[in-house]
Structures are given as C-alpha cells and as structure tokens.
Structure 1
Amino acid sequence: MNRIKEVLNAKGISQTELASRLGKTFNMVNLYTTNRVQPPIHILYQIAEILDIDVRELLVPNKLK
C-alpha cells in the first residue's frame, strides 16, 4: 500500500501533473494512487523526488510499534 494520493493532496499537485512529470499516462498514475497497481521501486523514488519527500513517506508501514 502507498500514500501517493494523500501526499499529492497535501502538496496540491494533481495526478495529471504527476503523470506529466513522470512521463506516464494519467491512467497509470491513477492506478498507483488508488493502490490498484504498486509502482516499481525506481518509479516510487521518482515520485518521491518530484514531491520533494523521503520515499519512506509514500509507504504505509508494514509493522506498527
């Protein structure tokens, strides 16, 4: 699971803008943001770079403390 949609909303960036900056289609980014498809690690890093955040902020923790 990822938090791409949450971070996009918080940063005020549209899925269309992210798709353009990634060189991906809107449909692919929409699949990422709705957690229907998980982006490959290298794409996740590109998304984090575009959003100017640590890549770990895009991930839902797999273990709770």
Structure 2
Amino acid sequence: MTEKGKTNKDLADALKIAPETVSSWCTNSAQLSIKKLFEVAIYLNIEAGDLLVSSKK
C-alpha cells in the first residue's frame, strides 16, 4: 500500500470495513478471504498474486 500511497484507513474505507481489520492483515494476525484478496488487488490496481508473494529478498 505504501508504494501506491494508500493507508490502512484508505483501504478500509474503500472496502467498507474497519481499519482494525486491515491492520490485522498487515501485521499477519489475521488472514483475509480470497474474495477480499481480490478486492484489495483491484483497489491497488495490482495482480492478486503479488499480494501473496513476499517482496523481501
């Protein structure tokens, strides 16, 4: 989200969910559903698979 200039609140507002839910996804304390995964990808204008692959090298 940082690369796209988006915050947890921006994503939460777009998906009509609580910002705490997005935060739990970002900290890996909860996993999003496949449906939400695709909604996030559409919102960020990226491929869903990009959200599943670690960017750490």
TM-score scaled by length of structure 2: 0.89
Q: What RMSD in Å do the two structures reach over aligned CA positions?
A: 1.0
Amino acid at match of 2:46: I
2:43 counterpart of 1:53: no
Structure 2 unmatched runs, 5+: none
Higher relative contact order (CA 8 A, sep 6+): 1
Structure 1 unmatched runs, 5+: 1-7
Q: Secondary structure at the match of 1:13?
A: coil
2:29 counterpart of 1:36: yes
Runs of 4+ aligned residues of structure 1 deviating over 3 Å after TM superposition are none
TM-score scaled by length of structure 1: 0.79
